[in-house]
Amino acid sequence: MLPWNLGVHGVISSHSPLKPVMSLPSGLLVLMLIMHGQYGTPLLLLDSYILMLVNLGMVALLLSMVHVYHTVSGPMQRLR
């Protein structure tokens, strides 16, 4: 199992399938901003706050998934 102080980027770069998942929240944010621009609605402070919360929530979900994956994959590698 990797030491947790290695940091998120080390964990993500060592498992390449997770890279697209990591860029998903920022891509979603950009998409929502583009949609806002197309419909001509001004970005309210509340709107950007909600978007930021969604973004943070998705990152937190990803981190917990990575953590669970490492907790599970450690014993699995020892079994092989």
pTM of the model: 0.34
C-alpha to C-alpha distance for 17 and 31, rounded to whole angstroms: 22
Low-confidence ranges of the chain (pLDDT < 70): 1-47, 75-76, 78-80
C-alpha to C-alpha distance for 15 and 12, rounded to whole angstroms: 5
The vertex-22 CA angle with 20 and 27, nearest 5°, equals: 80
Helix, strand or coil, per DSSP, at residue 8? helix
* Number of compact structural domains in the chain: 1
Q: What is the pLDDT of residue 9?
A: 46
Q: What is the pLDDT of residue 35?
A: 60
What range does the domain containing 10 cover? 4-79
Q: What is the pLDDT of residue 68?
A: 82
C-alpha to C-alpha distance for 32 and 34, rounded to whole angstroms: 5
